[in-house]
Structure 1
Amino acid sequence: MNFFKLPVLAPVVLALSLNAFAQDDDGEWVSAESAPEASESAPAYDGSTDSEFANDEEYASAYARYKTQTTKKADINRQRNEGFSRTVMLGVRAQGGINTFYGEGSDGWGMGFQGGAGLMLKMNLGIKNLSLVPELTFNYRRYNFEKDMGVYTNESQIDIYMFEIPLMVRYTFEDYNLFAGLGVNLGLKLKGTSEFSSSGGTRYNTVATSGMEVGGALDLGYMLSRFIHINLRTVVCFTSLLNDALVAEELFYESKFNTIYTSFGISFLF
């Protein structure tokens, strides 16, 4: 035998023999084959003080990290599921209010009334509390005119049915449940009729109206809940509702009838 190899072989044999044995709970050495196996039904650490791992800092730290990661994943999934409904909300809106004309030759036009209803969307713009709110509303308007000419009185009324498309940018003051909006309002005429009465009798459809109007809109509102909003809207039109080419009443030649109206509305979002 080569005695020079003993110093090398001895540590290797000792290491292999130690790996094959382990101590049990009573301090006795047992072989690895006879050592008890981990039970699949062993209780898991639940974070409570009654757990056998409660005093083990390593287990407690690992469990805390697991709970944090699990919570974050749950929040992400919840936000994904609710993201669309929070970002885009569909709703219906009803409104009613008063109107009149301003502009050249508009003396005598008093307060009229209007009402309507339609659909709306509320879409976040990616900036906190800022959203885009387009609407499509069907409205009926009546304008009333009366002017004392001394010997007789001129009276007129205009009835008009319109599609209105307000496009509002809204900012929400969350702490106060208030919002304010600013935008443009486009009106498209569906049908219009008029009546004009003077000393010469009553004439129909002689106060012709144009097919489109454009104006600015201002909203101030309050959120009764996330899904029910009320608001006060003022619209000031920049274009005349009077069709100069077709108007047949001399009294209104060279006139400009620009609409201004204020309406109260209630919206239901879902």
Structure 2
Amino acid sequence: MSADPRRLNRLNRLNRLLGAEVDRIVDLGGGHEWTLHRATLTDGREVFVKATERRSPVFEVEAAGLRWLGEADDGIVPPVLAVDDRTLVLPWLDGEAPGPSAAERFGRELAALHAAGAPSYGADRPGFIARLPLDNTPGDSWPQWYAERRIEPFLRLAAGDLAPSGVRLVEQVMGRIAELAGPAEPPSRIHGDLWSGNVLWSGGRGVLIDPAAHGGHRETDLAMLALFGAPRLDRIIAAYHEAAPLPDGWRERAPLHQLHPLLVHVALFGASYTSAALSAARAALTR
């Protein structure tokens, strides 16, 4: 066993959190401010571990989001096995390529998750997307809430890479948000960061991981699935639409919903995402 102090500390935390001894741990790399691991316990169970050396509320917020989504469907998210301010432990799930039936099942289950609803837009807890905080202050009007809690804060963070003309373009979207948002919808129970990498295909279904869960607009999750190309997206959408028909114009509104995550990418990764963010803003204005 490695004598690296950080590794030993991580093992000790896992042993304490799980009430079981860790037999073996494999490092899987990392992202943002945490590392990823696959651990095998002495009782034969395998678990997935996210860990950080710094105390942070990120994992406890993620665990709360998983549990909240799981209240609607406990199979669409993995159960939280353990969590503290440095560690999150989930069951290890073997991944697989999604077949047509798995995609259609996921579409139906996502529709049911959204239909479970939320008390308001936002949440009763703070949020995170990657390592960046999200303002989840509740609101009653989605267009206003989206402009104030999602677009505007990340426009400030991304402004240096967007240039003044880009900032003005996004501000135009915010100024016209009421007319661009489409028909009013009640708050849905959404994942909030549903790009393709946050859907783990396992056991013939799509399982949601890494949520930024909150009460939001259901078109947000669908737009995120399209943003980076979810596999079998047409099958997912067809099954979703059959279970919960979408209002006219939802495809044309996708760039509006994609604007927030693209501004997040500019804030995290810089100017390489500027063009995509500004293209989404233009498309939202000219749909």
Work out whether the TM-score is over 0.5.
Answer: no
Greater relative contact order: 1 or 2 (C-alpha under 8 angstroms, separation 6 or more)?
Answer: 2
Greater share of residues in strand: 1
Greater share of residues in helix: 2
TM superposition score normalised by structure 2? 0.19
TM superposition score normalised by structure 1? 0.20
